[in-house]
Structure 1
């Protein structure tokens, strides 16, 4: 059992802080913006890599290391901040994270060398992780039943859109200034988020629902979740699916521009159209989650994504490379991902409802860890065909399928919102 669990689901529901109808929309808007910060900070400065290397007298690999440092900071931050919030509460950690993000963004802007920039990027990622991991925990604190998957679908759509918008915004900033201005813009965004958190995000975890035992007790709670078979099954499904998504993000530009010869402008349109597939999938999920069930939609999403990745591998092998085939197959695969992400997040947070911060930390931390590990693999195995990207995506989705069948066992309907106002708790 987790330390100091609520006496019952009913007691937890009564203790949950109510969200006034007039404040719910503002709260969700702020949580969505907090979720968008990480992908914005990840991708906004990428168009400035060449000028950054010249300004700091750094190699291309050293500049790329600043991106890796940010992702590592995101993983470490989520794994630490999430469980700590179960004992300390959400609001002050959110405020501290937003303030730290502002400070470290400004440090990035004035960094005199690539070594300091890399360290500042790690700290920026660590601070930015607070918004992402605690947004999921706050939703779990405040909402129940069908509201939970609907709001997680919204966060998943934001995670799909923000990486597309980020390079465009970054390119616009670079057209009028230097790469340092990108970090100034991120600092301004951080100031706005700081003010929004102070104004619109209350403390959603009252003292009577917090876990005791200090930091050791907090991390024992995370250890309990690590031994929960179904919970870890869904977390691994999300992690392996994230690996497939990051393989697509890192490899699609090579596939479409180097293999199929499209221009950067056409590639951006293709990338945006596949994001529309994710939006359609997210809307479909939000509409049918209450009727079809989270586990059924998760299984359908994994089957759809797997079919898209399999077709991307098999059809070119039989009929040759084709722009249309690559485009359609990836559109299908991304549409399936849009069903997987909110399903696994909703089920995982329902299963970990007695420790939402720890549950969110494992969900988000492993999501970014698996994604970061998969990103360089496409380039490592070659960039002259779509085969490496297809193989990595298909392998990742196959591993997600194994985790679903062997650990999550969706036929047992774990974490369904229909199981009650709080879903199913860890046992």
Structure 2
């Protein structure tokens, strides 16, 4: 099947909203663009840093607060729930209110709530503060994508999304290391003090370097109700939801890998925690490499849908290979490492391609589109990650099967809903979605 020509007329009407286009909002200068993307990348890193930095301090936190391990783990669940809720609320609101004031409010709220976490006298208050911290931290994540959609167009947009995807690949590796360093010199409360400091620096950076990217004439009129109606309209668009589900299901596979890989490598294969960190870092390098390849190829005019199909295909090959190896050869360190490397490397293509296309197809309401792309990504990830432990700890097969199921679901969403051969979301294409 052949992709439609860019001159082909659109087959679906856009939902009510602002009129997008480069003429309405020229891209910033090269230096300003670099600074803007750097700040937006740092905002994107807030969630993984706040999620993983304090994990090494879980035992000490439980002792200090007199809380069970499950109660301590609930503080992380609360933060992830806050990220989902925050993105689904803040993204659509920004289409009517603008980006900057919500970014500043979110960054300021993150500072105050990080301080509240550092001072929490018991695990109940800590859990509540973590939920609200997640809501505030969600502003940076969801609005970073919306601001990029406002400010960049054509082939520039996927290259910028590749940067955000690479940040998301590096931050989960750096976060536990930073947390471990802090814990060698202080207590778990100092981790939240560091997050408070980082949040303060980000607040200053937003104030100085992130101008309003959505002028009043391009905002949704009709108040809050109108912005959420625009979100509902996006939910009814087949192609858009196809791309959203591709990203969300691949995120579920990634979260499954993050939550289950330490058990697989350390408990089943007997590697040390240091060796596991090396394995995890090596696999992360795979995502960085494929993210860089994506950026270069997208800049040279390779179709985003082609890159998305390639990413899903690579991840599916790796996930299927992992299941086949476990069933045929049993548990092997090399086989597990190689197949996971392949799967995670494919994800390095899927995230920037899927987010770029999704934001382009949903450009009539970028904040709402970003909310659905990011909110469902974390929702699916949070639902998938605990499943590994529910199916036993004597084999890597549960992790492999869950990852394969998630990536296979992404492939089905790609073929059945997104239909990449139709060319949705390509730079310069007239067709914006179905």
TM-score (norm: length of structure 1) = 0.97
Over 3 Å counting, the alpha-carbon distance change for 1:225 and 1:268 in structure 2 is same
Ranges in structure 2 where 5+ consecutive residues have no aligned partner:
1-13
**1:54: which partner in 2?**
63
Deviations 1:112-138 (A, max 9, x none): 000000000000000000000000000
In structure 2, C-alpha distance between the alignment counterparts of 1:4 and 1:332, rounded to whole Å: 41
Deviations 1:293-336 (A, max 9, x none): 11111111111111111111111221221100000000000110
In structure 1, C-alpha distance between the alignment counterparts of 2:362 and 2:396, rounded to whole Å: 39
**1:161: which partner in 2?**
170
Q: Pick from 188, 193, 197 the counterpart of residue 184 of structure 1.
A: 193
Q: Pick from 381, 390, 394 the counterpart of residue 384 of structure 1.
A: 394
**2:383: which partner in 1?**
373
In structure 1, C-alpha distance between the alignment counterparts of 2:312 and 2:399, rounded to whole Å: 17
**1:33 and 2:42 aligned:** yes
In structure 2, C-alpha distance between the alignment counterparts of 1:4 and 1:342, rounded to whole Å: 25
Whether the 8 Å contact between 1:3 and 1:212 is mirrored in structure 2 is: no
Q: Pick from 329, 338, 344 the counterpart of residue 354 of structure 2.
A: 344
Deviation at 1:13, TM superposition (A): 2.2
In structure 1, C-alpha distance between the alignment counterparts of 2:296 and 2:290, rounded to whole Å: 10
**1:255 and 2:268 aligned:** no
CA-based RMSD: 1.0
Mapping of residues 12-411 of structure 1, within 5 Å = 12-289=21-298, 290-411=300-421
Deviation at 1:383, TM superposition (A): 1.9
**2:10: which partner in 1?**
none
Deviations 1:185-233 (A, max 9, x none): 0000000000000000000000000001111101000000000000000
Whether the 8 Å contact between 1:225 and 1:426 is mirrored in structure 2 is: no
In structure 1, C-alpha distance between the alignment counterparts of 2:403 and 2:240, rounded to whole Å: 23
Deviations 1:398-424 (A, max 9, x none): 11111011100011011011416xxx4
In structure 2, C-alpha distance between the alignment counterparts of 1:245 and 1:18, rounded to whole Å: 33
Deviations 1:252-293 (A, max 9, x none): 001000110000000000000000100111011111124321
**2:15: which partner in 1?**
2
Secondary structure at the aligned position of 1:419 is classed as coil
Whether the 8 Å contact between 2:154 and 2:428 is mirrored in structure 1 is: yes
Whether the 8 Å contact between 1:17 and 1:204 is mirrored in structure 2 is: no
In structure 1, C-alpha distance between the alignment counterparts of 2:316 and 2:91, rounded to whole Å: 31
**In the comparison of the two structures, how many residue pairs are matched?**
420
In structure 2, C-alpha distance between the alignment counterparts of 1:259 and 1:218, rounded to whole Å: 49
In structure 2, C-alpha distance between the alignment counterparts of 1:244 and 1:214, rounded to whole Å: 37
Whether the 8 Å contact between 1:306 and 1:394 is mirrored in structure 2 is: yes
Deviation at 1:14, TM superposition (A): 1.7
Ranges in structure 1 where 5+ consecutive residues have no aligned partner:
none
TM-score (norm: length of structure 2) = 0.95
In structure 2, C-alpha distance between the alignment counterparts of 1:221 and 1:411, rounded to whole Å: 26
In structure 2, C-alpha distance between the alignment counterparts of 1:149 and 1:4, rounded to whole Å: 23
In structure 2, C-alpha distance between the alignment counterparts of 1:374 and 1:50, rounded to whole Å: 24
Q: Pick from 404, 418, 432 the counterpart of residue 425 of structure 1.
A: 432
After superposing on structure 2, the runs of 4+ consecutive aligned residues of structure 1 that deviate more than 6 Å are none
